[in-house]
Amino acid sequence: MAPSFSQIPRSSRRRYFFVFFGIVAMSTIFFVRFRHDQNKTEYVLGRDVLLPQKTISMSTIQGSEPMSLEQEQAKRMAVFKDYCRRHQPNTVKPVANETISRFIVNDKYKILYCFVPKTGTTTTKHVFYNLEHGTNTTTLFLGSKHLKFLSEYTDNEILRRLETYIKFIVVRDPLERLASSWKNKFMDIRGAMRYWFIEHYQSMLETIGDNEPGEKITYQDVNWKHIPFLAFIRAIARNQTRWMNPHWQPVYQLCSPCQVNWDYIAHTETLVEDFHLFFKKAGIVGRENIIPKMEERVGSRFYLEGFMKIPLEEIQRIGELYQSDYDMFGYSFQEDLDNLMKHVIKEKLHDN
Ligand SMILES: *[C@@H]1O[C@H](CO)[C@@H](O)[C@H](O)[C@H]1NC(C)=O
Ligand SMILES: *[C@@H]1O[C@H](CO)[C@@H](O)[C@H](O)[C@H]1NC(C)=O
Ligand SMILES: *[C@@H]1O[C@H](CO)[C@@H](O)[C@H](O)[C@H]1NC(C)=O
């Protein structure tokens, strides 16, 4: 088996001594900065996910600091457009039918929102529901009877909306999204729907062999084996149709990104601030009260915890499969690897 991040080979210890020392120094700086930043890291509670929120101070939003969210948004759009120009030049392909059924329609403010699971969708759906209905709810379970999907309209109505409405999407760092999907669908088991995932994807256990004892999960009279994070990641890394699901499929497979002329690309990591800026840009006035506030301050570093136990070659494979998402939405796989490395070193320092 390939070495995982947490297994630094003993034999090369001497050779790496100085490198290690350098990294320790760097990570100490990082750690101190992280401790400092922690005061500014807030979490907001969605129905089933804790969304980390990088708080951006008001002065940042007003543009007096180097990179305001406004500039950040301009950069995201430029990166995205550049990606599509390079990868899909002169495409006149129509928006896929599958994508059309993922767009939530807000006719009152003329907005289309392409719904990507595990990006803070509960929060986002509530914002659009509240906008459409003039309400202020955060607790309604929003199913298809509460929301209008673009696929419910006639072909002409669909075309007109795609051409004239404001198009909004929320994306998230791919590794963080995968960790969040696994945690939510395979670990935080509440209700029958969660058991559906465990039952439906039992075959993911094939990827880790039979030597794993496998903790049993009992639901009513049935036993299923718990699906470890490693099995989940390996299954995704194998890129097989039977293990695909919108909760972890790349955004480029869900929202035909290059076929849509987006007006705003939000990141889960800055969702609250993105909503404030989006409202401003979309001319939505006097409804800021429905934008969620930062509520809890719960540290959810699960993605680092989870991925540090995954063999590097599997992580690299995930990086390849989600490369488009990384590149078109302004995330960096290398940065994710660096963060993992720093986390591993921090843990090692902590252990010694
Ligand atoms: C997409 O849906 C339209 C009807 O809305 C249909 O005419 C068309 O054939 C569908 N395309 C595909 C590829 O299924
Ligand atoms: C929305 O809810 C908040 C807190 O529950 C309340 O302070 C505010 O007045 C409400 N706004 C509307 C428009 O109902
Ligand atoms: C994943 O599988 C699809 C076919 O389902 C293929 O088109 C694609 O190239 C594969 N991706 C990688 C990175 O191997």
Which protein residues are within 6 Å of ligand 3, measured from CB? 239, 241, 320-321
Asked if the model's pLDDT at residue 311 lies above 80, the reply is: yes
- Comparison of pLDDT for 85 and 139, the residue scoring more: 85
Ligand 2 contact, 38 CB (< 6 A)? no
Ligand 1 atom nearest 155 alpha carbon: 5
**Tens digits of per-residue pLDDT, 51-85?**
333 434 333 444 445 679 999 999 999 999 999 99
Going by their DSSP bridges, the two strands 111-114 and 50-54 should be labelled as: unpaired
E runs forming strands in the chain: 41-45, 50-54, 103-106, 111-114, 148-149, 166-171, 216-219, 222-225, 264-267
- Comparison of pLDDT for 91 and 298, the residue scoring more: 91
Which protein residues are within 6 Å of ligand 1, measured from CB? 97, 155
Place of tokens 């990104």: 257
Query: Which class for 1: exposed (0-12), middle (13-18), buried (19 or more C-beta within 10 A)?
Result: exposed
In the chain, what are the domain boundaries?
A: 1-39+301-314+330-352, 41-173+257-299, 176-243
Nearest residue (CA) to ligand 1, atom 7: 155
Question: pTM of the full predicted structure?
Answer: 0.79
Tell me if residue 330 falls in helix, strand or coil.
Answer: coil
Please state the rounded mean pLDDT for residues 231-236. Answer: 96
Predicted confidence band at 3 (pLDDT cuts at 50, 70, 90)?
Answer: low
Ligand 1 atom nearest 97 alpha carbon: 1
The candidate with the shortest Cα–Cα distance to 307, out of 2, 6, 11, is 6
Least confident of 33-47, 59-73, 242-256: 33-47
Amino acid 157: pLDDT: 97
